[in-house]
Chains A and B, each alone.
Chain A
Amino acid sequence: MEYLVRFAQTHETFRRPEIQACAAVAGVDIDILSYNEFSPYCVVRLPDEAAARAVAQRSILVKDIFELWGEGANYEELHADVRRRTEHRWKDYMNVPFKFMIDYFSGTRSQEKKGEIIKSFSYMGFKGPIRLKNPDEEFWVMEEYIDDVEVSALGVSRVEEPRKIFLCRKIAESCREDILKYDLKKRRYISTTSMDAELSLITANMALAAPGKLFFDPFVGTGSFIIAASHFGALTMGGDIDGRSFRGKESGKLGIYENFDQYGIKSKFIDTFTSDLTNTPLRRTGVLDGIVCDPPYGVREGLRVLGNRKGKPAVNVIIDGVPAHLRPGFIPPKKPYGFEALQNDVLNFAARSLVTNGRMSMWMPTTNDEKHEFPVPMHENLEIVSISVQPFHTWSRRLITYRRLPEGQLSDISKARKKMDDQGHSADELNAFRRTVPYAQRPWDSGQLRQTKPQRDRGLM
């Protein structure tokens, strides 16, 4: 059966991987038959209505899903297609309370014209009653015009008439409203690096968070990702090199746990512990169903791992006859670390810790300058499932989703750049990302970063 998905017109490169992930969670096959990044309308093939409902109800970037009754480049084509596809079904809807809606993308019609359009479907013979509130069935006409964004991106010319029209029957709404529930502004415990609700939920979806699964974030911070994974039913753990980040300032309260409590998902929280990914305490075996993370890359938070800075010998310091690290209040020394070295560590960690077919969804930044673009990190035990990009003004960040391959199966990493850690000792020397951006343009030094909006952010809905 063919269904029409109405996407939110935002985070375009995330939309297809997310709906595919939602289908994977629901255990159904999905074929994307037509997709255009400049349009919210996408036609897919799914086995049945139950499958369509299940996929849509798990998605953040889908707004709603419809059964496709017809499509065309104009009303003549549309009516012919509607007759061909659905004439045998009209009798089933003859006496059902219904309403007709018209949805436009980047266009509009007068009230008078709207009425004319709706009347043009009268051949279907629906007697109603027409019920605007709580109808049993909703029939939607969707008109797709060419949007200004597409005009400027592709140089196509604007049109007065829609280029595509659909008629469809509504089936289900998505869980997009959950974004409001997890809004950072209303969350009890957050910090400057908390990931926004929409992208956190999408990240958890990409990694196939679901009931019964175990998820982990090695850079947990205030817990944005594990909260999202737990929202979808996974039980979650987190580690962070800085215990203060998940503990918070109030003594006797665990900041991150306050959030789980706020959302009524306390039973999904397992533990957080203070640990360094490069010296992780986790056992070297497949125990995790999913990893969701945004590794620190030295933009907002400096990148540090355990160890002494250059030149300081690693000795067991004794103070008053007691080893320094056993005295109360001991803070282990940390040293700056390379972003690419850290990424390799994350991938090795994922390859070791994920169960077969377990997924990792990891964020990483890149420049918008093609010459300096960072290679996508690869590992022979991990297959890249999808790469999505959120563009900002001078830089972008990518969400890369990996799948742990079964033992004995290797992914092609020949395209990966064989790169060792950068030479150097300071954060700037160790991180190509910091080097490629001239000082004057550094968003993290000028405070510009926090105000930078995604270029094509058009709000929530």
Chain B
Amino acid sequence: MKVLTANFVTCAVKDCKTSPASFPLHFHDAELEQEELEFQPEFIRNILPRIDWPALCTTANELGFPTLPESKPEGDKLEDEQTLKDLHRLLLETHVTEGKLACANCGHQYSIKEGIANFLLPSHLV
């Protein structure tokens, strides 16, 4: 699971959706892998406004990445290739291959195996 995806998902339990504590989900025992991909600055520029920046900072911190700037890069900074490359590396080239994603609201843990997260819920949480 890529860091980008982690920024777009929250707890699947319906009652958690309204609680701020359910986002972002928190990584536990995460095993990381880096994979070099074709640089796609166009995508980063398009997707950045939809990224929840405080949540990304939390996730990056949990995964042991160097601290991100406090505020989301905007305007001229989106023309800076190094800024876009750093974001590309974090959002698209970094995967969590094994580990767990936990909701801070209900405590439910979603497992990640071979890079695939499982968001199915047992019937008492549906």
Contact = CB atoms under 8 A, between A and B. Distances in A.
B17 interface: yes
A309 to B, nearest CB: 9
A272 B118 CA distance: 10
Contact of A306 (B17, B42, B110, B123): B123
B11 interface: yes
A264 B2 CA distance: 19
A414 B46 CA distance: 35
B11 A306 contact: no
Interface string B92-126: 10000000000000000110001111111111101
Contacts, number: 124
Contact of B8 (A254, A274, A282, A324): A282
Interface in A371-412: none
A314 B123 CA distance: 5
Given A214-B47, A266-B37, A276-B120, A287 B126 contact: no
Given A274-B119, A332-B123, A283 B114 contact: no
A207 to B, nearest CB: 15
Size range of the chain B interface in the assembly: 35 or more
Interface in B29-50: 37-38, 40, 42-43, 45-47, 50
Given A235-B40, A355-B50, A273 B122 contact: no
Interface in B14-61: 14, 17, 23, 37-38, 40, 42-43, 45-47, 50, 52
A333 interface: yes
A315 interface: yes
B122 A243 contact: no
A271 B1 contact: yes
Contacts of B50: 214, 285-287, 355
A284 B17 contact: yes
Nearest to B55: A283
A306 B116 contact: no
A325 B13 CA distance: 14
Interface footprint category on A:
35 or more
Contact of A212 (B9, B43, B117): B43
Contact of A270 (B4, B11, B14): B4
Contacts of A284: 10, 17
B5 A241 contact: no
A212 B45 contact: yes
A424 interface: no
B126 A281 contact: no
B122 A279 contact: no
A274 B116 contact: yes
A123 interface: no
Contacts of A266: 37
A308 B126 CA distance: 9
B90 interface: no
A271 to B, nearest CB: 4
Contact of B9 (A243, A283, A316): A283
Nearest to B42: A212
A280 interface: yes
A11 interface: no
Nearest to A324: B122
A315 B124 contact: yes
Contacts of A271: 1-2, 4-5, 115-117
A280 to B, nearest CB: 7
30 contacts: A211-B43, A212-B40, A212-B42, A214-B43, A247-B114, A267-B37, A267-B40, A271-B4, A271-B5, A271-B117, A272-B116, A273-B9, A274-B118, A274-B119, A279-B13, A279-B126, A281-B9, A281-B11, A281-B110, A281-B117, A282-B8, A282-B9, A282-B10, A287-B50, A306-B126, A325-B121, A325-B122, A326-B109, A332-B120, A332-B122
Given A214-B46, A286-B50, A325-B121, 12 more contacts: A213-B46, A243-B116, A270-B5, A273-B116, A273-B117, A279-B12, A282-B8, A283-B9, A284-B10, A289-B46, A306-B123, A307-B123
